[in-house]
Amino acid sequence: MMAKTPLEGMEPLSLGKATLSELDLGRLTSIAPYRGQEAALSDALKEAHGMLAPAPNRATGKEGARAIWFGQGLILLAGPAPDETLARHAALTDQSDAWAVVRLEGDAAADVLARLVPIDLRPYVFKRGHTARTELQHMMASVTKLGETTFQIMVFRAFARTLHHDLQGAMERVAARARP
């Protein structure tokens, strides 16, 4: 059987000073630590994957192995297959196919997102390693800052086309405003 990505066939889209591309994060695992197991889980994460459990609104780790705060009592491990020691401390659930993931980057990326996302994206407020569960237009989303002008955006897989539609529209409008 042929596997398809949520945005199968989508070419990276560059408009003005923003570029949109689909991102394959590899394995996605939601991790929900059991009662009183938060610290033990954090240690196990550090031991197995090299990053501590993230505090709310933060992401730890680096490209290829990242732990993203994903809501109350929930962490998303992106990249590696979860080490089995984690299961002693938390409920692990495979979410590799559940999310459409895109990267929005460029000098205008924050301006584009400001059309769709209500959170404060100013560089010194929403810094690299910060993340938020928020809304994007009408969809619940996870937005993580990967770099100075680079954002990772996740929505439910089934919303992939709407995500692309909404981002493209905002990119067109921002690009049209830019001074020549």
Partner 1 sequence: MRIAGEGLINRRRRIPFTFDGRAYEGVEGDTLASALLANDIRLIGRSFKYHRPRGVLTAGSEEPNALVTAGEGEGQEPNQRATMLELSDGLIARSQNRWPTLDLDLLALNDLAAPFLGAGFYYKTFMWPPAFWERLYEPMIRRAAGLGALSGRANADRYEKAWAHCDLLVIGAGPAGLMAALTAARAGADVILADEDTRPGGRLNAETIEVDGVPGHVWAAEVARELEAMENVRLMTRTTVTGAYDQGTFGALERLSPGTAAKPGAPRECFWRIVARRAVLAAGALERPIAFRNNDRPGIMTAGAVRAYVNRWCVSPGHSVAVFGNNDDAHRTAADLLDAGVHISALIDARHDATTALDVPFYSGAQVCDATGRRGLEAISVATASGIERIQTEALAVSGGWNPTLHLTCHMNGRPEWRSDIAAFVPREEAVPGLAAAGACRGDFSTRACLEGGARAAGAALEALSFKVPQVDIPGAEDSAYDISPLWAVPGKGRAWLDFQNDVTVKDVKQAATENFRSVEHMKRYTTQGMATDQGKNSNIVALAVLADATGRGIPETGTTTYRPPYSPVSIAALGAGGQGKGFAPERLTTSHAASVERGAPMIEAGLWYRPSYFPKPGETHWRQSCDREVCMVRESVGIADVSTLGKIDIQGPDAGAFLDFVYTNMFSTLKVGRVRYGLMLREDGYVMDDGTSARLGEHHYLMTTTTAAAGQVMRHLEFVHQCLRPELDVRFVSVTEQWAQFAVAGPKSRELLNGILDASIDAEGWPFMSCGAVAINGIGARLFRISFSGEHGYEIAVPARYGDALFRELVARAEALGGGPYGMEALNVLRVEKGFITHAEIHGRTTAFDIGMDRMISARKDCIGKAAAARPGLVEETREQLVGLKPVGAVKLLVAGAHLFAEGAAPVRENDQGYITSVAFSPSFGHYLGLGFLSNGRARHGERVVMVDHLKGVKTLCEVQDPVQVDREGGRTRD
Contacts to partner 1 by CB under 8 A: 1-6, 30, 32-35, 73-74, 90-91, 93-99, 114-115, 117-122, 125, 137-139, 156-162, 165-166, 169-170, 172-173, 175-177
For residue 93, the tally of other CB atoms under 10 A from its CB is: 13
Residue 50 beta carbon to partner 1: minimum distance, rounded to whole angstroms: 24
Residue with Cβ nearer partner 1 (80 or 169):
169
Q: How far apart are CA 89 and CA 110, in angstroms?
A: 37
| Nearest partner of 152 among 88, 101, 111, judged by Cα | 101
Residue with Cβ nearer partner 1 (48 or 92):
92
Q: How far apart are CA 47 and CA 160, in angstroms?
A: 34
DSSP 159: G
Residue with Cβ nearer partner 1 (44 or 90):
90
Strand-pair partners of 62: 65
Residue 68 beta carbon to partner 1: minimum distance, rounded to whole angstroms: 14
Residue 45 beta carbon to partner 1: minimum distance, rounded to whole angstroms: 16
